[in-house]
Amino acid sequence: MKNNIIRIFGKLILVFGLYFFPVSCDEEFLDEIPKDFLTPNNAYTNLDGFETAINGLHYLVREHFWNGNWKQYALFGNHTDYTFSYNKLDYNALSASGIWAGFLVYWDSAYKLIQNANTIISHAEMDEAKWNSNTDKLQIIAEAKFFRAWGHKILANLFGGVPIVDTEIISPKYDYVRNTRDEVYQFCKEDLEYAVVNLPDEEKSPGRITKAAANHLLSEINICLENWQEAIDAASLVIDDPDYELMAERFGARTDIEGDVYWDLFQIGNQNRNSGNKESIWVIQEEYGATGGGNGCLWEWMWGPWLTSIKDPDGNSGFITDDEFGWPIAHRTPTYWLQQVVWEDDWDDMRNSSYNIRREFYYNNPKSNYYGQKVTKEVLIPMSNNYRYCQVYYMKATTPWDHPKGIYNTGIVWKDIYAMRLAETYLLRAEAYLGKGDKQKAADDINVVRARANATPVDADDVDIDFILDERARELAVEEMRSCTLMRLGLLYDRVKKYSYILWADGSVEATKENTTIQPHNNLWPIPQTAIDLNSEATLEQNPGY
């Protein structure tokens, strides 16, 4: 019996031994080779690879800061002195996790950008990276450092002192602690000082980062640090550069249409420097219908009056969507201040021309009995929430006659977007001069900007930070990351209290919900609760008041 069993198992072992034998030679059967994606190991090996990674930074910036959903557009000044939303932000309800936490996504977006910049910076120095020239390498690192600084700057503006992340994250980390706001700005400064040395003078391609862009940002960072002279020096490097000047004459693709030079600045195709525009410093790229051309920006949808809901005196639809105005729905409404007050001192300012700010509208629905007639206040007054129908239309938020065929009913605009423009560099330098106490120089800089708009020059005595903020509004409304500006200055609360009013169709004025609920602690946003909760190995302090 026993023998039998031994014999049986002997045979079993023989058969299986033969069978399993090849397995030991066959380890690569379970090797894993990526088929349809790149990994950091094979992505950052030569200049081409690094260039695609830099493209990735540009992509992330556009997708996360300009082309996001409407909740994100809080960065561009909604709920500030610029606009209020028909959603009525109750600042009491702004919390780290509540319903308004939607725009806190900038926290995540900025850190994602920073991580990608860090990855480029660290891989550039690795052995796997084969460089043809040291210049290539330094330029790549410099552009990545520019974005790392830009990301940290936005975080520090909005949230105060945030954790500085200066290395590539390759394994999980849960113990972030906050740096001070000055430490963050200082870190940005160091990155930018590297960047201004190593970035090229000219864009490698339209939209790429140059020395001028880095100097512009360095100037702002130095303002944040109150290094006034360094801020002035950085801005001067751009202003004094003969390649950069404010556009004074009409230019670009649409000079055949009646308008002015300020209007030209915002026509499709006129933003990139290759259009002859010498004013632009950094332009976010959008191209309708092109691969990678982006999803467009919802500005038109947000900034214009809700025309399609305006009824004619018969109560019928007065407007249809068209190629001139697109489809605005007044998702946000300019404050009384931005509609009226800011222009009152000099109504003839070019930036307030009827090309640039539309204040009158004519029924365009052919089916309406009032086709072609002007919309009167009397018609608007009975309408509910009529501030959404009577608001002015900052035309830089749209592209009249340039909507891609058939898609003027999305509220999306497809033109390139200024991230930095020389006019702002002047205003930054003015701010630095003001900080330094040189009001005359500040006024001079402001007046360069005002002169282009044929506005009356400002007296040095009248220049203060509020005037600069007003001037920024006149020059940069819609484009500017207003929330960043006000929050870096700690003036969000003051300005909202002062300027956030609803203008009703009958001309009456009423404080917005933002105005009545904002408190001084709202000068910083709360740190997202998810970031605090997930940072399980250290405490990430919340901003006071939240």
Partner 1 sequence: MKKFLNLVCLLLRQHRKKLIVMRNTVLIVLISALQVFATGSYAQTKTISLAMNDATIREVLYAIQKQSEFYFLYNSELIDVAKKVDITIEEEKVDKILTRLFNKNEVDFLIKDRYIVLTPVGGNAELFDQRTVSGTVTDQSGQPLPGVTVLIKGTTQGTVTNTDGNYSLSNIPEDATLVYSFVGMRTQEVVVGGQISINIVMEQETIGIEEVVAIGYGTISKKDLTGSVSSVRFEDQILNANINVMQAMQGYLPGLNIGAVTESGEDPSLLIRGTTSLSTGQSPLIVVDGVIYNGSISDISTSDIERIDVLKDASSAAIFGSRSANGVIIITTKQGKSEKPVFDFNTYHGAQVIANKYNVCNANEYIKLILDYRSANGMEADINNMEAYLDPLEGENYRNGTENDWGELMTQAGPISQYDLSVSGSTARTNYYLSGSFTDQEGAVMGDDFTHTSLRANFSNDISNWLTIGMNAMYSNKDYSGVALPYSSWSLLSSPLGTIYDETGDLVFYPHNKTMFPNPLLNQRVKDSEVSNNLFSVLYADIKIPKIEGLKYHFDYSDNLRFEKHHQFWGTNTVSGYQAPNGHVTRINSENRSWLINNILSYSRQIKKHQVEATIVYSREGYVGESSNLTAKNFSSEVLEWNAIELAGYLAVNTNASENNTEAFMSRFLYNYDNKYYLTATFRRDGFSGFPAGGKYANFPSASLGWVISEEDFTKSLNWINFLKLRLSYGVNGNQALGAYSSLSKMELNNYVYDKSSVVAIYSGSMGNNDLTWEKTKSWNFGIDFSVLNNRLSGEINVYKSNTTDQLVERSLPSMTGYNNVWTNLGEVQNKGIEVELNSIILSTSGFIWKSHLSFSLNRNKIVHLYGTDTDGDGKEDDDIGNSWFIGKSIGAIYNYKTDGIYQIDDDIPDGFVAGKFRPVDVDGSGELDENDRTVIGCTEPNFRVGFYNEMKYKNISLSFMINSIQGGGKNNYYLSDSRSNRVIEHIHSGASAIKRDYWTLENPTNEYPGLYYGGEKYQPAVLEDRSFVRLQDITLAYGFSKTVLNKLGVNNLKIYLSGKNLLTLTKKYKEKVLREEGYFTNFTGMDPEAGTNLLMGTPVMRTYIIGLNINF
Burial of 253 per CB tally in 10 Å (0-12, 13-18, 19+): middle
- Of 15, 126, 451, 465, the one binding partner 1 (CB under 8 A) is 15
- Of 292, 490, 507, 520, the one binding partner 1 (CB under 8 A) is 292
Q: What residues contact residue 54 under an 8 Å CB cut-off, 6+ apart?
A: 120, 140, 143, 144, 208
User: Quick check: 366 binds partner 1 (CB under 8 A)?
Assistant: no
- Of 98, 200, 236, 493, the one binding partner 1 (CB under 8 A) is 98
User: Quick check: 181 binds partner 1 (CB under 8 A)?
Assistant: no
- Of 249, 384, 437, 461, the one binding partner 1 (CB under 8 A) is 384
Alpha-carbon torsion angle 22, 28, 29, 34, nearest 10: -170
As beta bridge partners, residue 283 has: 418
Q: What residues contact residue 125 under an 8 Å CB cut-off, 6+ apart?
A: none
Alpha helices per DSSP H over 256-395: 261-264, 299-303, 336, 342-344, 377-380, 387-390
Quote the CA–CA distance of 80 and 491 in Å, as a whole number.
10
Determine phi and psi for 311, rounding to 5 degrees. -95, 150
Determine phi and psi for 499, rounding to 5 degrees. -120, -10
User: Quick check: 516 binds partner 1 (CB under 8 A)?
Assistant: no
User: Quick check: 107 binds partner 1 (CB under 8 A)?
Assistant: yes
Shortest distance, CB of residue 135 to partner 1, whole angstroms? 20
Angstrom CA distances, 376 to 163, 353, 505, stand at 53, 20, 9
Contact 123, 41 (CB under 8 A): no
- Of 147, 327, 343, 394, the one binding partner 1 (CB under 8 A) is 327
Q: Which is nearer to partner 1, 286 or 424 (CB)?
A: 286
- Of 45, 70, 71, 90, the one binding partner 1 (CB under 8 A) is 90
User: Quick check: 26 binds partner 1 (CB under 8 A)?
Assistant: yes
Contact 372, 122 (CB under 8 A): no
Alpha-carbon torsion angle 373, 374, 378, 384, nearest 10: 100
Shortest distance, CB of residue 187 to partner 1, whole angstroms? 14
Contact 219, 428 (CB under 8 A): yes
**29-88: contacts with partner 1 (CB under 8 A):** 29-41, 43, 51-53, 55-60, 62, 87-88
User: Quick check: 294 binds partner 1 (CB under 8 A)?
Assistant: yes
User: Quick check: 174 binds partner 1 (CB under 8 A)?
Assistant: yes
User: Quick check: 353 binds partner 1 (CB under 8 A)?
Assistant: no
- Of 172, 242, 366, 372, the one binding partner 1 (CB under 8 A) is 172
Closest CA to 515 of 335, 331, 369: 335
User: Quick check: 411 binds partner 1 (CB under 8 A)?
Assistant: yes
- Of 289, 366, 372, 437, the one binding partner 1 (CB under 8 A) is 289
- Of 46, 112, 180, 248, the one binding partner 1 (CB under 8 A) is 112
User: Quick check: 171 binds partner 1 (CB under 8 A)?
Assistant: yes
User: Quick check: 359 binds partner 1 (CB under 8 A)?
Assistant: no
Quote the CA–CA distance of 104 and 72 in Å, as a whole number.
8
Q: Which is nearer to partner 1, 157 or 447 (CB)?
A: 157
Angstrom CA distances, 463 to 434, 439, 486, stand at 8, 7, 17
Q: Which is nearer to partner 1, 18 or 133 (CB)?
A: 18
Quote the CA–CA distance of 113 and 406 in Å, as a whole number.
35
Q: Which is nearer to partner 1, 222 or 410 (CB)?
A: 410
Identify which range of 12-20, 67-75, 141-149, 259-267 contacts partner 1 by CB under 8 A.
Answer: 12-20
- Of 75, 114, 350, 419, the one binding partner 1 (CB under 8 A) is 114
Percent helix / strand / coil, the chain, rounded to 5: 50, 5, 45
Shortest distance, CB of residue 355 to partner 1, whole angstroms? 25
Identify which range of 67-75, 390-398, 404-412, 481-489 contacts partner 1 by CB under 8 A.
Answer: 404-412
**419-478: contacts with partner 1 (CB under 8 A):** none
User: Quick check: 185 binds partner 1 (CB under 8 A)?
Assistant: no
Site mask, partner 1, residues 189-208, x = CB under 8 A? ----------------xxxx
Identify which range of 66-74, 123-131, 235-243, 400-408 contacts partner 1 by CB under 8 A.
Answer: 400-408
Contact 444, 425 (CB under 8 A): no
Given the structure tokens 């990351």, which residue do they identify? 481
Identify which range of 123-131, 221-229, 306-314, 334-342 contacts partner 1 by CB under 8 A.
Answer: 306-314
Tokens matching residue 21: 């034998």
Residue type for position 19: Y
**213-252: contacts with partner 1 (CB under 8 A):** none
